[in-house]
């Protein structure tokens, strides 16, 4: 199944092609949905349209504590008679007449007859008379949001595919949605392979290590809106790999995507490729010109029910697994969950310090970015892609393009956000 190395962009394109093919399929898989309460909708992907149930704001709203008035009158700085009071939640009784102001609070409806609000801080009082302090003037419409200026009843405010964050929850609440229809989380099977691995709760022998990839990938899957299904570790034996892969494609697991880690390099006990091949896998790429993560493979198996089961075989080294998850698996998982958020996410930052190295591969170097008005990113010294301690000190990866042999101090670099 070995094929030539693709560039990072070519490999990303393969993932995008797969996503498009899924969407364009003659009968695209029916995406199951579920109903959740607004309180537990954060992080989910909306599966219905959210529409305004009434005009927003539903009345002309004062944005200040102050005095509703006629702007032309207030702008002459004449004393105007205080003829009414409006608190938030109160409905105006009657209209504002010429020569009047009404005291009004932020969020209260502006009475008919008023076309502006001047701020209490800009007012002068004389018993029951108020004026706008000279030399201030007031424009019509100032400090008022007209009814329907934000949305009209029936307007589409959120489309299916929106990831529900705080702002989306707020607008759904404003429109009276106490339940929302959301996409079911994609189920992602996670299979770590390696003779040397013991589970977290196990006691490693002198040459064994704990399986950290499964919990790490489960956390990545959860953070990306998926549901992890962590399978027991499989040792480097053909029969066991065949058995577990057969299990994953059967209806027993009903996974939407499979992540395998380890066993895909050129070592004598790297048996994953062979097992996938025996299971009838179709390979879209096997190796990408990136570091870490070069051996990463992407392909598809067919589930017992005939549905495609996309898989990524990720290199065993933990940082390689994490980087390749972010670059390739996360975008596909998002698409499987109907999430329209574009992934992976990149940003620009200035490099603190310089970098020198060999060109040829797109590199992803663990780094810490101080996100501020001028984001500055610092590389974290590391011992290579197995150095989880360095990884745990990072909050992003600096991306070095394949043609670069150096980046100077203060140079602008792309960072991969994690």
What mask, x for binding ligand AMP by CB under 6 A, covers residues 369 to 388? -----------------x--
Shortest gap between Cβ of 247 and ligand AMP (angstroms)? 18
Chain-centre distance of CA 86, in angstroms?
42
Pick 62 or 192: Cβ nearer Mg ion: 192
Pick 49 or 209: Cβ nearer ligand AMP: 209
Which residue's entry shows tokens 């990938």? 217
Shortest gap between Cβ of 197 and Mg ion (angstroms)? 8
Q: Which stretch binds ligand AMP (CB under 6 A): 146-154, 208-216, 342-350, 400-408?
A: 208-216
Cβ 390 vs Cβ 366: under 8 Å: yes
Q: Which stretch binds Mg ion (CB under 5 A): 19-27, 211-219, 316-324, 359-367?
A: 316-324
Shortest gap between Cβ of 381 and ligand AMP (angstroms)? 19
283 - beta bridge partners? 299
- The single residue among 194, 228, 292, 318 that binds Mg ion, judged by CB under 5 A, is 194
- The single residue among 57, 292, 316, 337 that binds ligand AMP, judged by CB under 6 A, is 316
Segment 263-302, which members bind Mg ion (CB under 5 A)?
263
Q: What is the CA radius of gyration of the chain?
A: 30
What mask, x for binding ligand AMP by CB under 6 A, covers residues 241 to 280? --------------------xxxxx-x--x----------
- The single residue among 56, 192, 297, 300 that binds ligand AMP, judged by CB under 6 A, is 192
CA angle 87, 90, 94 (to 5 degrees): 105
With CA atoms as reference, report the closest residue to 148 among 51, 68, 61, 64.
Answer: 61
212 binds ligand AMP (CB under 6 A): yes
Shortest gap between Cβ of 192 and ligand AMP (angstroms)? 4
What mask, x for binding Mg ion by CB under 5 A, covers residues 137 to 176? ----------------------------------------
Q: Which stretch binds ligand AMP (CB under 6 A): 106-114, 283-291, 298-306, 316-324?
A: 316-324
Shortest gap between Cβ of 384 and ligand AMP (angstroms)? 10
Q: Which stretch binds ligand AMP (CB under 6 A): 138-146, 163-171, 300-308, 313-321?
A: 313-321
Pick 267 or 410: Cβ nearer ligand AMP: 267
How far apart are the C-alpha atoms of 90 and 146, rounded to whole Å? Answer: 17
How far apart are the C-alpha atoms of 165 and 150, rounded to whole Å? Answer: 19
Pick 50 or 264: Cβ nearer ligand AMP: 264
262 binds Mg ion (CB under 5 A): yes
Shortest gap between Cβ of 255 and Mg ion (angstroms)? 22
Please give the biggest Cα pair distance in the chain. Answer: 94
Q: Select the binding partner of residue 60 from Mg ion, ligand AMP, none (C-beta < 5 to 8 A, by kind).
A: none
Q: Select the binding partner of residue 209 from Mg ion, ligand AMP, none (C-beta < 5 to 8 A, by kind).
A: ligand AMP
Summarize as ranges the residues that interact with ligand AMP (CB under 6 A).
192, 194, 196-197, 209, 211-213, 261-265, 267, 270, 315-318, 386
Summarize as ranges the residues that interact with Mg ion (CB under 5 A).
194, 262-263, 316
């Amino acid at each position: 199944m070995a094929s030539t190395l693709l560039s990072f962009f070519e490999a990303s394109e393969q993932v995008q092609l797969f996503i498009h093919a899924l969407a364009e399929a003659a009968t695209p898989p029916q995406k199951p949905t579920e109903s959740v309460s607004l309180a537990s909708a954060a992080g989910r992907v909306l599966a219905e349209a959210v529409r305004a149930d009434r005009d927003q704001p539903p009345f002309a709203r004062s944005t200040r504590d102050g005095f509703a008035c006629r702007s032309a009158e207030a702008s002459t700085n004449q004393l105007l008679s205080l003829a009414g009071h409006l608190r938030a939640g109160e409905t105006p009784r009657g209209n504002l007449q010429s020569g009047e102001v009404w005291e009004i609070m932020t969020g209260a409806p502006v009475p008919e007859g008023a076309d502006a609000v001047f701020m209490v801080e800009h007012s002068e009082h004389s018993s029951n008379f108020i004026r706008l302090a000279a030399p201030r003037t007031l424009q019509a419409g100032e400090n008022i949001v007209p009814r329907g200026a934000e949305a009209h009843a029936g307007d589409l405010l959120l489309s299916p595919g929106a990831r529900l964050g705080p702002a989306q929850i707020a607008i759904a609440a404003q429109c009276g949605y106490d339940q929302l229809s959301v996409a079911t989380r994609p189920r992602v099977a996670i299979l770590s392979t390696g003779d040397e691995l013991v589970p977290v709760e196990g006691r490693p022998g002198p040459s064994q290590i704990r399986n950290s990839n499964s919990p790490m990938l489960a956390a990545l899957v959860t953070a990306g809106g998926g549901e992890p299904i962590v399978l027991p570790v499989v040792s480097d034996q053909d029969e066991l790999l065949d058995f577990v892969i057969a299990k994953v494609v059967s209806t027993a697991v009903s996974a939407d995507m499979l992540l395998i880690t380890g066993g895909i390099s050129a070592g004598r006990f790297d048996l994953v490729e062979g097992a996938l091949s025996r299971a009838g896998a179709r390979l879209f790429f096997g190796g990408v010109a990136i570091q870490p993560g070069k051996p990463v493979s992407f392909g598809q198996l067919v589930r017992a029910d005939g549905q495609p089961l996309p898989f990524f075989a990720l290199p065993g080294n933990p940082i390689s697994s994490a980087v390749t998850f972010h670059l390739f698996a996360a975008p596909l998982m998002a698409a499987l969950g109907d999430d329209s958020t574009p992934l992976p996410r990149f940003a620009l930052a200035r490099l603190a310090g310089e970098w020198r190295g060999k060109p040829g591969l797109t590199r992803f170097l663990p780094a810490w970015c101080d996100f501020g008005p001028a984001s500055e990113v610092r590389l974290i010294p590391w011992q290579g892609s197995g150095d989880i301690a360095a990884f745990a000190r990072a909050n992003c990866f600096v991306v070095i393009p394949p043609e670069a042999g150096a980046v100077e101090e203060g140079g602008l670099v792309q960072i991969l956000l994690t």
